[in-house]
């Protein structure tokens, strides 16, 4: 069987097995109606692939909904930010899905402690960030794999990012862009005051990072894993969760690895 025949067979097998989800915008709703009319809309329990219509926020939301199922998600940009999305086109969807390249990602696992209660746990596809809650700068101690690396970071905040999320908040905070498969996690300060010249670190993907909030009553800090926020944290533990795999699909000429590399040459 030739590659063209195999692609055609795969496209035929996807008929009736595509679930469509859309952001709550007029643009995404219009795209949803057009795709439903052309291809139908399967229930998530029957789907082989989810097509997400919106921006990067919808991709993250959809991936969180798919946690534990690892159902591939193919995004089409109907929003303002579409780094994780493919271009929107009505024609040839089945063929595009059959030819799409998969990018497998592992989320970060956050365990945030507030008071004496049990920790709040959440997964992050982009990053886990700690952010000051008031006008007072945060004071944070950083340990990596049980060894103290910074006794006191005075800052607006600090974050740990996945490679996929390294082009998001991490890049805005002047952190490095990490290619997929590099097995590295960027640790990036947000508006660091002291140590003034510290620009962050690149950590092995298997590293565990622990943040202890100093003077937490005077200088309260919130922890955010994607869009799960925990306020007034005292301690936050972060590590990659290799037991969970997320799959995003991209057109062959514009895969996620290529986008991450290209982003480093954007001027």
- Non-local (6+) Cβ contacts of 173 within 8 A are 159, 188, 189, 190, 191
Query: Is 10 annotated as belonging to a binding site?
Result: no
Query: Is 126 annotated as belonging to a binding site?
Result: yes
Long-range CB pairs of 5-11 (<8 Å, 24+ gap) are 7/95, 7/98, 7/99, 8/95, 8/98, 10/98, 11/94, 11/95, 11/97, 11/98
Query: Is 56 annotated as belonging to a binding site?
Result: yes
Query: Is 157 annotated as belonging to a binding site?
Result: no
Query: Is 75 annotated as belonging to a binding site?
Result: no
Catalytically annotated residue among 56, 87, 116, 253: 56
Query: Is 173 annotated as belonging to a binding site?
Result: no
Query: Is 167 annotated as belonging to a binding site?
Result: yes
Beta bridge partner(s), residue 111:
121, 237
Instruction: Establish whether 56 is a catalytic residue.
Output: yes
CB contact at 8 A, 249 and 101: yes
Query: Is 77 annotated as belonging to a binding site?
Result: no
Query: Is 84 annotated as belonging to a binding site?
Result: no
Strand ranges (E), the chain: 18-22, 49-54, 73-77, 101-105, 108-113, 120-124, 127-132, 138-144, 147-155, 157-161, 184-190, 201-204, 209-214, 221-225, 228-230, 235-240, 246-250
Query: Is 171 annotated as belonging to a binding site?
Result: yes
Query: Is 148 annotated as belonging to a binding site?
Result: no
Which residues are catalytic, by number? 56
Q: Which residues line the annotated binding site for NAD(+)?
A: 56-57, 126-127, 156, 164, 167-172
Q: Which residues line the annotated binding site?
A: 56-57, 126-127, 156, 164, 167-172
């Amino acid at each position: 069987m030739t590659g063209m025949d195999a692609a055609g067979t795969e496209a035929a097998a996807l008929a009736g097995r595509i679930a469509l989800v859309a952001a709550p915008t007029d643009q995404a709703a219009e795209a949803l109606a057009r795709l439903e009319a052309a291809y139908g809309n399967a229930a998530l329990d029957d789907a082989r692939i989810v097509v997400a219509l919106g921006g990067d926020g919808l991709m993250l939301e959809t991936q969180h909904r798919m946690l534990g199922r690892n159902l591939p998600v193919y995004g089409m940009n109907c929003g303002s930010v579409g780094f994780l999305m493919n271009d929107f086109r009505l024609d040839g969807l089945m063929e595009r899905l059959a030819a799409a390249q998969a990018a497998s990602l592992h989320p970060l696992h956050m365990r945030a402690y507030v008071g004496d209660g049990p920790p709040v746990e959440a997964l992050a596809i982009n990053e886990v960030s700690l952010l000051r809650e008031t006008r007072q700068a945060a004071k944070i101690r950083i340990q990596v794999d049980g060894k103290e690396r910074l006794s006191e970071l005075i800052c607006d905040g600090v974050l740990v990012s996945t490679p996929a999320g390294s082009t998001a908040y991490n890049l805005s905070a002047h952190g490095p862009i990490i290619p997929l498969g590099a097995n590295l996690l960027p640790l990036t300060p947000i508006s660091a005051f002291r140590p003034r010249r510290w620009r962050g670190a690149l950590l092995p993907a298997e590293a565990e990072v622990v943040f202890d909030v100093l003077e937490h009553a005077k200088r309260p800090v919130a922890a955010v894993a994607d869009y799960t926020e925990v306020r007034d944290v005292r301690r936050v533990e972060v590590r990659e969760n290799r037991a969970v795999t997320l799959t995003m699909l991209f057109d062959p000429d514009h895969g996620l690895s290529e986008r991450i590399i290209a982003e480093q040459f954007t001027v």
